[in-house]
Amino acid sequence: MGSLFSMANTKANQSESSEISPNETSKRQRMSPASVEECPRLIPNLPDELSLQIIARLPRICYYHVRLVSRKWKATITSSELYKVRKELGTTEEWLYLLVRIGQNKLLWHALDPRSRIWQRLPIMPSVVDEEDSQKGSSGLWMWNMVKGIRIAEIIRGLLGQKDALDDMPFCGCAFGAVDGCLYVLGGFSKSSTMKCVWRFDPIQNAWKKVNSMSTGRAYCKTGILNNKLYVVGGVSQAGLIPLQSAEVYDPFSDTWSDVPSMPFSRAGVLPTAFLADMLKPIATGLTSYKGRLYVPQSLYSWPFFVDVGGEIYDPETNSWMEMPNGMGEGWPVKQAGTKLSVVVNGELYAFDPSNSVDSGRIKVYDQGEDEWKVVIGKVPVYDFTESESPYLLAGFHGKLHFITKDANHDISVLKADHCSNVDSSPSTSAPQSPKYMEDELLRESAETHEAVWKLVASKGFEQAELINCQVIDI
């Protein structure tokens, strides 16, 4: 079998130290002489239309430096016209945006350019709550505070059974999404109040901006993208901490929200006794956009009881919900409330299924024809970080499945799965190996038993940070 980890080239080491700070370019700009006379054209002796075509072909990571050439260059780099040209030319790039928590209350977004393996730190998210939400009695700016070491089951326990727990629980419960080239952070808790507010990060402007709020305050909701619109489903409300069945959709072009029919949770009504029906609360445990529809796995939950009840599908064409096929819903991997991890890559629906072992897991793909989940990668190297709520994440970009986790040194690693039908058992010699990974006996053993090569895309130390969320943006 082939080596579990291989490196395309030695540039992967750059990911440890190469990072662009949002303040770096502004400092350099202040140091530039103010008396520099700007050329009336982007590039002397060339029409701006042609210059725009040239700039659109540059790697996006270069824009953080070339915008310092002049004010006109900066205006061009931060204009929507440039990115329209990039789309027309087919030169858009997919970047991975990773949210981590450092300590107990410091949230940071980082963007990774997978080609150059350079990380860019995003501006800090605004730590303010919506004015309307603030009037509901929420004191203190708790929006972005996250508590360390709370498992998702304990969170749901507090939500559905112990309202007072929220007063001591600074975990925000925000949802995240990416649509139309922008990153979104939605809702969450401010103290014990759920919020409606929505913040958008524009990579072109490199800035956060508050946009139109949701119609309903919600926390722990699920998000998905259909037809370039952002759908928000489920979550919990502050009124008695009742799980929400409602849904709504955001149009980024008009900055408006519209109602979507509520999830029926039809299987919640077939419980054998009224006692169970009253005790077990329906919750959405995931959301995936797949084949033009929204797929929502669901559970019934009340501590310590937890029952998977399949799921439901939203069809935007008919604006209605239907039951999920039995094999899909009942076999959806990860039987833990709120963490059914899945991603669509090249039209195929993948999910991560952690095994009983603390050091491995499996990747499954859904076979729609047979209504069955099938193992496609028999072992994924993971480490047991019991204090982490999201010890691993899935992402799809560059047409490949990617797995994000922490390695033995507690660095966050982005791994790419390369499927191989016949993998030699000897170590791969096609690219230099990362010493850090090759020294890890566990990962070497994993490589010898499974027909997939995990290639290290990038890694970075984040001061013992915990993974929270990841999104992919293509501009």
Crossing angle, helix 48-56 and helix 80-89, to 10 degrees?
70
The structure's pTM equals 0.81
Closest by CA to 417, choosing from 317, 335, 350, is 350
- Strand arrangement, sheet containing 342-345: 342-345, 348-354, 361-367, 372-377
Run of H or E residues at 310: strand 305-315
Alpha-carbon distance of 89 to 151, in angstroms, equals 45
What band does 1 get if pLDDT is binned at 50, 70 and 90? very low
Q: For residue 371, how many other CB atoms are within 10 A of its CB?
A: 15
What the block records as the tokens of 141 is 């700016």
Please give the torsion angle defined by the CA atoms of residues 192, 129, 139 and 124, in that order, rounded to the nearest 10 degrees: 100
Distance CA 361, CA 382 (A): 7
Query: Of 183, 293, 284, which Cα lies nearest the Cα of 236?
Result: 284
Distance CA(219)–CA(223), nearest Å, equals: 11
| Placement of tokens 């963490």 in the chain | 339
Alpha helices in 96-250 (DSSP H): 131-134, 152-161
335, containing H or E segment: none
Average pLDDT, the chain: 78
Of 334, 373, 378, nearest in space to 352 by CA: 334
Question: Over 80: is that where the pLDDT of 369 sits?
Answer: yes
Residue-wise pLDDT tens digits, 296-315 = 998 887 765 667 788 999 99
Is the CB of residue 196 less than 8 Å from the CB of residue 215?
A: yes
62 CB contacts (<8 Å, ≥6 apart)?
none
Mean pLDDT of 395-416: 91
What are 344's two structure tokens?
Answer: 């669509």
pLDDT at 4 over 60: no
Q: In this structure, what token pair is assigned to residue 280?
A: 């077990």
Q: Do 191 and 139 meet the contact criterion of CB atoms below 8 Å apart? A: yes
At 462 the pLDDT is 78
How far apart, in whole angstroms, are the C-alpha atoms of residue 300 and residue 373? 22
* Cα 17 versus chain centre, distance: 23
User: By mean pLDDT, which of 260-264, 322-326, 458-462 is the weakest?
Assistant: 458-462
Quote the DSSP letter at residue 342: E
pLDDT digits (tens, 9 = 90+) for 389-403: 667 899 999 999 999
Q: How far apart are CA 377 and CA 428, in angstroms?
A: 19
CA distance 37 to 26: 19
Please state whether beta strands 348-354 and 198-202 pair in parallel, antiparallel, or not at all (unpaired): unpaired
Query: What pLDDT score was predicted for residue 471?
Result: 97
φ/ψ (deg, to 5) at 310: 75, -125
Confidence of residue 351 (pLDDT cuts 50, 70, 90): very high
* Residue 447 near residue 425, CB atoms below 8 Å: no
* Mean predicted confidence (pLDDT) in 313-340: 84
- Output b/e per residue, 329-362; b: 16+ Cβ within 10 A: bebbbbeebbbbbbbbbeeebbbbbbeeeeebbb
Mean pLDDT of 248-259: 98
HSE-up of residue 263 (Cα within 13 Å, Cβ side): 34
Q: Where in the chain is the domain with CATH 1.20.1280?
A: 17-89
What confidence score (pLDDT) does residue 137 get? Answer: 41
Q: What percent of the chain has pLDDT over 90?
A: 49
- Rounded CA gap, 135 and 6, in Å? 54
More confident: 165 or 255: 255
The number of beta carbons lying within 10 Å of the beta carbon of residue 96 is: 23
Residue 147 clears pLDDT 50, i.e. is over it? no
Residue-by-residue DSSP string for 358-369: TT-EEEEEEETT
pLDDT computed for residue 358 by the predictor: 60
- CATH-assigned architecture of domain 17-89: Up-down Bundle (1.20)
